[in-house]
Amino acid sequence: MNEITLVLQEINRGSAHSIEELLPLVYEHLRRLAASRIAHEAPGQTLQATALVHEAWLRLVKEDAQTWENRAHFFGAASEAMRRIVIENARRKSCIKRGGNLQRVDIAEIDLAETTPDDKILMIDEALESMQAEYPEMARLVVMKFFGGLTNEEAAESLGIAERTVRRQWTFAKAWLLDRIEEMG
């Protein structure tokens, strides 16, 4: 077993000091995930990768009863925490009293290599909430790839599925989200 899994098992057994051992082991990976997510934000945004990692970490360890089954479960939870932070930041910046106006967009236009304005993130999140009810596994994949910045290979490893399956599910998820966004508009 790798060192991260061993530390997670210690945490699950109630070892309080193991949480302190976990951060140095996962920090660089979390930082890369956050940097990947931040790279897709619009220029001039104020959220930085380091702040995103620190906020996600605080949320992950905030609950005393938090346990993670394994490395994949931990990084899935970290991706979800980062997603929530990005969404909260987008909502805060886009609220009407601060001059934001939401507009519907075509998800086919969204590419991880491009910047993603806050209004697009909010629309994707709304559609993702609907997907969560029908296809929770695919919603988890969307969170890992779009909000966590994981590659197909990393997502496949984290989910315990083949990379080919990730590509197929990612294609389906994008089409499903596009349909949902069109229904909302």
Q: How many domains does the structure of the chain reveal?
A: 1
Compute and round to an integer the Cα radius of gyration of the chain. Answer: 17
Q: Which domain holds residue 9?
A: 3-184
pLDDT at 167: 93
User: pLDDT tens across 110-132, in order?
Assistant: 554 444 566 677 788 888 899 99
pLDDT at 96: 53
- The Cα-based distances of 184 to 70, 106, 118, 124 in angstroms read 37, 11, 17, 11
pLDDT at 44: 61
DSSP H helices in the chain: 3-12, 17-39, 49-62, 71-94, 118-134, 136-142, 152-159, 163-184
Distance CA 52, CA 47 (A): 7
pLDDT of 102 above 70: no
pLDDT of 178 above 80: yes
Instruction: Indicate the pTM of the whole model.
Output: 0.56
Q: Which residue has the higher pLDDT, 100 or 17?
A: 17
- The angle subtended at Cα 18 by Cα 15 and Cα 21, nearest 5°, is 170
Q: Which residue has the higher pLDDT, 93 or 115?
A: 93
User: pLDDT tens across 35-69, in order?
Assistant: 887 777 766 667 788 888 889 888 888 865 567 87
User: pLDDT tens across 12-44, in order?
Assistant: 887 777 888 888 888 888 888 888 877 777 666
Distance CA 68, CA 66 (A): 7
- The Cα-based distances of 88 to 12, 95, 124, 173, 182 in angstroms read 29, 11, 13, 23, 23
Distance CA 19, CA 163 (A): 31
pLDDT at 164: 95
Distance CA 93, CA 122 (A): 11
| Least confident range of 4-18, 91-105, 155-169 | 91-105
